[in-house]
Amino acid sequence: MRRTLTLVVTAVLLAAGAAAPAAAAPAPAAAPALVQTVPAKTFTNCTQLNAKYKGGVAKNKKVKNTKTVKGKKVRAKSRYAPKVSASLYAKYRKLDRDKDGIACER
């Protein structure tokens, strides 16, 4: 019975569509798709930042990684190169403990 009902409805719709093709209104133009932006992830500590940027975030290419030994700053070797981005560094400046221009360096 269900199959018969489906066939009858389909036949009626086809007959109605074939009888008045000129009376059909033009289809409205499709609305542009809305683009959803994903909010940028905010890191609250160096562990979270280092999960994405292993070498930390540097404010420019010229900064060098330093560490403090007996009260003096000396150059430190790093296994990972930092991501260079002035805007990211400005956002996470508070995570740069030794104030050498690289936040969360390893």
Q: What is the pLDDT of residue 37?
A: 63
Q: What is the pLDDT of residues 56-67, one digit of tens each?
A: 999 998 888 777
Q: What are phi and psi of 35, to 5 degrees?
A: -95, 120
Q: What is the pLDDT of residues 70-83, one digit of tens each?
A: 887 777 777 788 89
Q: What is the pLDDT of residue 46?
A: 93
23-57 burial: b if 16+ Cβ within 10 Å, else e:
eeeeeeeeeeeeeeeeeeeebeebeebbeebbbbb
Does the global pTM surpass 0.85?
no
Each residue's pLDDT, cut to its tens digit, for the chain (106 residues) gives 666 666 666 777 677 665 555 555 666 666 666 766 656 678 999 999 999 999 999 999 888 877 777 887 777 777 788 899 999 999 999 999 888 899 998 8
